[in-house]
Structure 1
Amino acid sequence: MGAPFGHSHSDPLRRFVIGTAGHIDHGKTALVKALTGVDTDRWEEEKRRGITIDLGFAPLPLGDAIQASVVDVPGHEGFVRNMLAGATGIDVALLVIAADEGIMPQTEEHLAIVELLGVRRGIPVITKRDLVDGEWLDLVRGEVSTRLAASRVRWDPAVATSVITGEGMPELREALARVASDLVERPSDDLFRLPIDRVFAVAGAGTVVTGSTWSGSVAVGDAVRLLPLGREGRVRSIEVHGETAARAVPGRRTALALVGVDKSELARGHVAVTGPGWQATTLIDVAAELLPTARKPLASRTRVRVHLGTAEVLARAVQTSAIAPGQRGLARLMLETPVVARGGDRFVLRSFSPVTTIGGGVVLDPFAPPRTRLRRRRVAAEQAPAERLGILAVEAGLMGLGIDTLAVRLGVSPDRVTAVIAEAGENVLASAETVVDRQAVIAEAGRLAEVLRRYHEEHPLDPGMSLQALRAAVGPPAPPSAVLDAVLDVGVKGGQVEVAGSVARRARWRPALDARATDASDKL
């Protein structure tokens, strides 16, 4: 941090986050310094050992209209957990490969992580160009091109560079600017989420948390919730690379100075959020895949390390049919520590011991229903949000789903929720606050008609059953009032139930005295 939140600036038109990846000592930090002028090795131990241990950060302006933030990650295999904390939320990967060594073991692991995290674009950078001749460089280019041909990431052609001579640096800047112009920016009108990767205190600013803003925006003075801590803080000030800002937006390295929470309460892996629907979870259903290099299948009771956002937590796979190396399948993860997850989030799996990257996947349901077994669920990786909404509504039954939870659970922006409900069509009924499965409501309306029939048999002189008593007959547990209203409405419209004032009765039913009076009148 600079002086407590000093110079102001206006946000440039395009913003994105660049992350380095690659084998130890292939020149990632030197490349970042040559690009940005910032030495991202912050710690004395890093400078003494000549390797990056934790995350480093630097701003990178690319012309007047583009502002990038660079995350420099460690390449040493012992610090992959730190690499994962930095790789989360990046838009563009710089896969750094030394010209004199080519692709190495950590190159492969970092490449797998970049793919598993769903990074959209990448540029392979061949460093230390000055150490090899043209023929050797062509061999390395060919090796890199062949290796990346089957990658899911969209890779630009490799750029050969030397931080000693400056060769290739202008071309790398041009390539980054070109990629940035193609990127679709993360929406700022989504729910705000900032996975925290650093926590510290600054005199005059208080507790400061930093991270890459994944989605949404937050302004000075806004309240944020800090999960899984469950505390609320207020944003005193915002800083982006040493300059103050009025608002934090996606695609930027952001620091929030917070009031109302102490530094000792927070840690890497916590999340700052705004808006409804967020909650910590310990049970998630996922679409998982294992790398071909995994040593054994992912099966029930397998203990793993889950990296989601900046969090690393231990978990067990439960109710999971074995997923073999190189294969995909559904899995349920029971987390030993709560995390903050959203539908569509990507994560990485590492083995418990020895610690190696074995796979990853996508969160299908961040709030898996513990009473519904995974094999009975119909959730799948390729489902549209409306289809998944229909499935979740069936599982929720008469309890329904709170509309304010759907943006998080389905992984859609809040302004898309209404459209998703509409796309679900006649499968669901919606009120202002709740979505419920239509068939569950129809079935319950029929059951209440039977409750009324029995009531009439037992109380033939009563004008009907009180609405309060009829509502109490639904459940337990008692559904939301909007669902009860929907059940009665379906019963009335379906000709099963009549409501008269504060009582309900079966359609066309009359109390015994009323029926006798009607018969006498007919005889007269």
Structure 2
Amino acid sequence: MSGNEGRSARAVVATAGHVDHGKSTLVRALTGMEPDRWAEERRRGMTIDLGFAWTTLASGTTVAFVDVPGHERFVTAMLAGVGPVPAVLLVVAADEGWMPQSAEHVDALCALGVRHGLLVITRSDLMEPELARDEALEHLAGTPLAGLRTVCVSAATGSGLDELRDALDDLIAGLPAPDTTADVRLWVDRAFTIRGAGTVVTGTLGAGRIRVHDELELLTAEGARTVSVRGLQSLGADATEAAGVSRVAVNLRGVPREAVTRGDVLLTPGAWLATDLLDARLHGIRDGIPVDVDDLPAELSLHIGAAAVTARVRPLGADTVRLRLRHPLPLRVGDRAVLRDPGRRVVAAGLTVLDVRPPELRRRGSATRRAAQLATMTGVASAAAELARRGIARRSELIAMGVTRPDVDAVARVAPGAAGWLVDPGRATGIAAELAAAVAAHDTDDPLDPGLPTEAARRAVGLPEPRLVEAVLRHAERAGSDTGLVLRDGRVARSAARSLPPAVRAAMDALRADLERTPFAAPEAARLSELGLGPRQVASLVKTGELMRIADGVVLLPGADKRALEVLADLGPEFTLSAARQALGTSRRVAVPLLELLASAGHTVRTPDGGHRLA
């Protein structure tokens, strides 16, 4: 691979500002590399596309530069370059001073949340730099970049370059450490083909780690596909892996060049939610100048990373909007982005993503209620808050939204869950009450078929997974909520005292009295008929756990099998069917299926001479 891409840098810094020739000359003087890749750029003295260079400072730290265009016609390319970087060299020429495009660059940087950088006054050999410096600092006042450390330099004479290198060392030392264990999201800012290698894409890796032979997901406007990493470079050198923050070049196996373009993104597979609908909070660029959401055009351009996507804007609250994107992007709660008005060529607002899976707004008043909800959201993903808003969510989806795994694990310890799903504790209590109502309604309609199968119960309360039914009932029990429900034999049913009709309840009480006197004397059909217990009533008693079916037409009280084992234990190591029948005080009609039941459960075994013994 080549293309001036890919040794690992401690930091990646964008060089921005209005003056183009001065920026490129400065980068060239710092690095000894040519950032302007095209002959036309060098001929015109104007950066047209992104340029890349790097150098090693006196401390041994390597820093990479992304040189972005300064002309207003190339703002989209500029935003693609500064989008993923953590720091900026804001370049102002001493002989030109602050320019309108400098302001748009600063607006974009502030909107994206860039807080670290240096103000560099270049061409200091052509004019005293103090006027340009003071003017620039005045324009930066009231922005998050106010008070940047300033260095005055001349690339032509070399004056100030050593001081600038020292300032870069200090800047980099103060940058937040990247999370090298994070999920990969590499925004593609270049794509090209190299003979013998195939398609290569480049970008700024802000966090995470990419290794040769990794499988990644390539997300484009047309959809997602799985790709393999054939090779890697970082700052011009081959590498087996690259970690953020760094400039990387990734050689993709089996991907045609025309399938990739600027703004596409390489992702850790299955770790991101691609969304074309999001809710966000807008913020002004400068202090005291809020964004009037009602004054925004209906359509703006959303810039994040190296991507630029048309977005339709729906105002919700005083500073919150819903955006519908032309195609999905992998976003997380807390992401920063820029909304730009291409028609007026201005940055309209910065935004912070609040929700990447927002609810539909179809009912009257739903937009107002949603605006009130958004007003309480901070842009920091919280497992408890997200689960409370959604009621039910997948663990993996919460993490993909931007919630940390430790936070999800902590919530999972108190929230009922199953099969990768979590239910908000408060919502679980409500669902348990809904289950009780659904079972009661069913039992009223069909009292002799009490309870609901687990799947039917799941559908009745809108749970996404049948195993959540048991989790919700366990939670209700731990919380002291008396639902009167039990889960038995794959059914959610009320306890017998609540579910049986009065006549069946009375008949069961009489039958229980019989069986308590003679536990193994299963009632004959005549006795059941006398009590008014037909096949449906008996089946209902078996379902509710009031009776234990031994065989067709043979029912005993629950636990009869365990009581039988206690009796049979007194018969010695081996016994006959006749001895068992006499000890149990029952008939052959009951003794035979009861012994078969015990054998099938592994409690007894047959002996070679046809007898029985306890296992």
Residue of structure 2 equivalent to 1:312: 308
Residue of structure 2 equivalent to 1:53: 48
- Note if contact 2:84-2:306 (Cα within 8 Å) is conserved in structure 1: no
Provide the rounded CA distance (Å) in 1 between the counterparts of 2:345 and 2:269: 36
Letter in 2 for 1:361: L
**TM-score in terms of structure 1 length:** 0.87
Residue of structure 2 equivalent to 1:231: 225
Pick from 451, 465, 468 the counterpart of residue 483 of structure 1: 468
Residue of structure 2 equivalent to 1:186: 178
Question: Comparing 312-321 with 225-234, which one deviates more in the overlay?
Answer: 312-321
The alpha-carbon distance between structure 1 residues 236 and 499, as it changes in their structure 2 partners (threshold 3 A), is same
Residue of structure 2 equivalent to 1:326: none
User: 1:227 deviation in Å?
Assistant: 1.1
Q: Give SS of 2:80's match.
A: helix
Q: Give SS of 1:53's match.
A: coil
Residue of structure 2 equivalent to 1:27: 22
Q: Give SS of 2:149's match.
A: coil
The alpha-carbon distance between structure 1 residues 85 and 339, as it changes in their structure 2 partners (threshold 3 A), is same
Residue of structure 2 equivalent to 1:302: 298
Mapping of residues 25-424 of structure 1, within 5 Å: 25=20, 27-63=22-58, 65-132=60-127, 136-153=128-145, 155-228=147-220, 229-291=223-285, 298-299=294-295, 302-321=298-317, 329-371=319-361, 373-377=366-370, 378-380=373-375, 383=378, 385=380, 388-397=382-391, 400-409=392-401, 411-419=402-410, 421=411
Q: Which structure 1 segments of 5+ residues have no match?
A: 324-328
Provide the rounded CA distance (Å) in 2 between the counterparts of 1:45 and 1:456: 82
Provide the rounded CA distance (Å) in 1 between the counterparts of 2:416 and 2:191: 44
After superposition, the C-alpha distances for 1:204-227 in whole angstroms (9 at most, x for unaligned) are 221111000122111111100011
Identical positions, percent: 36
RMSD between aligned alpha carbons? Answer: 2.8
1:517 aligns with 2:508: yes
User: 1:375 deviation in Å?
Assistant: 3.4
Provide the rounded CA distance (Å) in 2 between the counterparts of 1:119 and 1:301: 25
Q: Give SS of 2:426's match.
A: helix
Residue of structure 1 equivalent to 2:535: none
Letter in 2 for 1:312: A
The alpha-carbon distance between structure 1 residues 262 and 242, as it changes in their structure 2 partners (threshold 3 A), is same
Q: Give SS of 1:404's match.
A: helix
Question: Comparing 487-496 with 53-62, which one deviates more in the overlay?
Answer: 487-496
User: 1:504 deviation in Å?
Assistant: 2.6
Provide the rounded CA distance (Å) in 2 between the counterparts of 1:155 and 1:509: 73
Question: Comparing 22-31 with 244-253, which one deviates more in the overlay?
Answer: 22-31
User: 1:337 deviation in Å?
Assistant: 2.4
> Whose relative contact order is higher, 1 or 2, with alpha carbons under 8 Å and at least 6 apart?
1
- Note if contact 1:433-1:482 (Cα within 8 Å) is conserved in structure 2: no
Provide the rounded CA distance (Å) in 1 between the counterparts of 2:419 and 2:445: 37
- Note if contact 1:434-1:482 (Cα within 8 Å) is conserved in structure 2: no
User: 1:314 deviation in Å?
Assistant: 1.1
- Note if contact 2:416-2:475 (Cα within 8 Å) is conserved in structure 1: no
Residue of structure 1 equivalent to 2:2: 2
User: 1:87 deviation in Å?
Assistant: 0.3
- Note if contact 2:68-2:77 (Cα within 8 Å) is conserved in structure 1: yes
After superposition, the C-alpha distances for 1:257-302 in whole angstroms (9 at most, x for unaligned) are 1113221111111110004341321111111124579997555761
Provide the rounded CA distance (Å) in 2 between the counterparts of 1:109 and 1:463: 70
The alpha-carbon distance between structure 1 residues 339 and 462, as it changes in their structure 2 partners (threshold 3 A), is closer
- Note if contact 2:10-2:246 (Cα within 8 Å) is conserved in structure 1: yes
After superposition, the C-alpha distances for 1:424-473 in whole angstroms (9 at most, x for unaligned) are x96x5444612222222211211211222223333333464333433332
Query: Which has the higher Rg, Structure 1 or Structure 2?
Result: 2
Question: Comparing 292-301 with 493-502, which one deviates more in the overlay?
Answer: 292-301
**TM-score in terms of structure 2 length:** 0.75
The alpha-carbon distance between structure 1 residues 381 and 509, as it changes in their structure 2 partners (threshold 3 A), is closer
1:465 aligns with 2:452: yes
Provide the rounded CA distance (Å) in 2 between the counterparts of 1:352 and 1:451: 55
